[in-house]
Structure 1
Amino acid sequence: MRPTHPKLIPTEKKLVKEYMTTNVISLDAGKTVKDVIGLIRTTTHDGFPVLSNGKVVGLIAARDIIDAKATDSIAPLMQPVILKTHPDEGMTDVARKMFRFCVQKLPVVDPAGKFVGIITNADVIRSQIERVTPEKVFDYMTTLKTLYGLDPLLSRGMVSVKNLIPTQSKVYMDELDGRAYEIKKGLAEPLIVVHRGDKYILIDGHHRAVAANRMRVQELEAYLIEIDSNTELGIEKTSRNMRLWSLDDVQIMDESRCAFLA
């Protein structure tokens, strides 16, 4: 019996509570510039939420205290908080909000308005990278039908990481860090894998797979495109020509993909 697709549609909605930072260093609204300087020196941060009775009322950053006296109160210097989010808001909605208003951080509050965490633009980016959509899976299945005359079946299950054959020769260290975080939190998107005979060919999700391999994770969830054919795919030939036999053969680039021009 041919598998149906209800498990593919929809992908679970990603929520703020899955990505926000909850252990946030904050300051009371009654503190002074001296207190801000002390936190900047003793932490890796240059900005902090300002609270009053447990509710966030502002954000204070190093730029806000330039030319201020150490004894000055931070209340008139802080940036008032206008936008907030809550733990159950979708990350896509938060991304739109942050882009529209050009903000880098949003305080997260509970139903009573109490401050519970921070969500940043880096969290938003991490939640969106390498997303697997139904269209991506179905488009690849259509490609197989068109190029090879195949009629693949679709299922969803766990695959052994060590058995995956990569089709991408390079991944990037900065993205591996994000994928490792998602795997630890149970937030990783499924891979897209072609299963042909005894081969498991990785089509999409190389950063997730390499991160899992480095972490010695045994299995990952995947959309399995099952092919009952001896036909070797073009992507398999390419992989063989690049001498990619396992995830250990994928090169990890410890550099930014961005090029900056002077």
Structure 2
Amino acid sequence: MKLRVGDYMTKNVITLSPDNTVDEAIELIQKTGHDGFPVVDDSGKVIGYISSRDLLKKDPNTKIGDIMSKQLYVAREYMDLRDAARVMFRTGHSKLPVVDDDGRLLGIISNADVIRSQIERADPGKVEKLKKTIEKVHGVNIEVERGKVEVDRLIPTQTKVFADELKGRIYELRRGLAEPIVVIKKGGRLYLVDGHHRVVAAKKIGVKTLDAYILKVPENVELGIERLVKKRGIKSIRDIEIIEDVPHPLVEITFRNTRR
């Protein structure tokens, strides 16, 4: 399954209008930490892009519409993510607005999103491998669907998450990123297989539902994770412990290596 721009783009995009001023744009950069913004008209159509470089040595009262870049590279949500990455690499752009057929803004894809797509993601290949494993072990056919699941209904299959990793997941959720979790559905129960940090992050900031790959398992199949959950007494997300004083193992390994 190919990775699409729409799966990794940021949907909650901060924009400017052509009537905003340079001073307002600088204030927005200071507030958000972003280095540029799409410029949209009243209908939501992208008409330009303003970067921090465009603002250098400009009068604070200058209108954004007078200095914005008007010739833009844009992406579509159905594009292969690798194609969007090639465009960014070859043109030197770190971000591409994502637009619909009428040029209205749907999101923005950045080089950071491309990197993120290669790490810590619910790879469709991982889902397919899990599906085939369950089918082989239990001799059943498993249906996989993509949909929304309620955070409060999820039964976790691990008991700990790391606080430093959790901060990253909260940041991603607030940006509107759409990385799915992996869930096994059996009867009325939803077992969380992949995405524990994202689910705990969602719970912390009040996100009620998450996008998920849902593997539908027949009711008569007894899964190993069910026995594990019962043995550990796990019933809900509230049973997950947040490890505050120990860094994520990858962070610890990197830190140690740099000291050699």
Q: Which residue number in structure 2 is paired with residue 103 of structure 1?
A: 93
Q: Which residue number in structure 2 is paired with residue 36 of structure 1?
A: 22
Q: Could you say which structure has the larger radius of gyration? A: 1
Q: Which residue number in structure 1 is paired with residue 133 of structure 2?
A: 143
Question: CA, structure 1 residues 81+126, in 2 after alignment: closer, same or farther (shift >3 Å)?
Answer: farther
Cα separation, 2, equivalents of 1:55 and 1:117: 13
Aligned residue pairs total 233
Q: Secondary structure of the equivalent of 2:74? A: coil
Superposed CA deviations along residues 45-76 of structure 1, whole A, max 9, x for unmatched, are: 5644597x9843x64315972xx4759x999x
How high is the TM-score relative to the length of structure 2? 0.58
Match of 1:228 among 220, 227, 233: 220
- Identical counterparts, % of pairs: 23
Q: Which residue number in structure 1 is paired with residue 16 of structure 2?
A: 25
Superposed CA deviations along residues 143-164 of structure 1, whole A, max 9, x for unmatched, are: 3455xx4113323577664443
Question: CA, structure 1 residues 85+42, in 2 after alignment: closer, same or farther (shift >3 Å)?
Answer: closer
Cα separation, 1, equivalents of 2:152 and 2:38: 48
Is residue 248 of structure 1 aligned with residue 242 of structure 2?
A: no
How high is the TM-score relative to the length of structure 1? 0.57
Question: CA, structure 1 residues 82+138, in 2 after alignment: closer, same or farther (shift >3 Å)?
Answer: same
Cα separation, 1, equivalents of 2:122 and 2:237: 20
Q: Which residue number in structure 1 is paired with residue 167 of structure 2?
A: 173
Shift of residue 85, structure 1, vs aligned partner: 0.9
Contact 1:192 1:225 in 2 (8 A): no
Higher fraction of helix = 2
Question: CA, structure 1 residues 181+248, in 2 after alignment: closer, same or farther (shift >3 Å)?
Answer: farther
Stretch moving more, 79-88 or 160-169: 79-88
Q: Which residue number in structure 2 is paired with residue 154 of structure 1?
A: 142
Shift of residue 173, structure 1, vs aligned partner: 2.9
Two-structure CA RMSD over aligned residues (Å): 5.1
Q: Which residue number in structure 2 is paired with residue 4 of structure 1?
A: none
Question: CA, structure 1 residues 229+26, in 2 after alignment: closer, same or farther (shift >3 Å)?
Answer: closer
Structure 2 unmatched runs, 5+: none
Cα separation, 2, equivalents of 1:213 and 1:38: 34
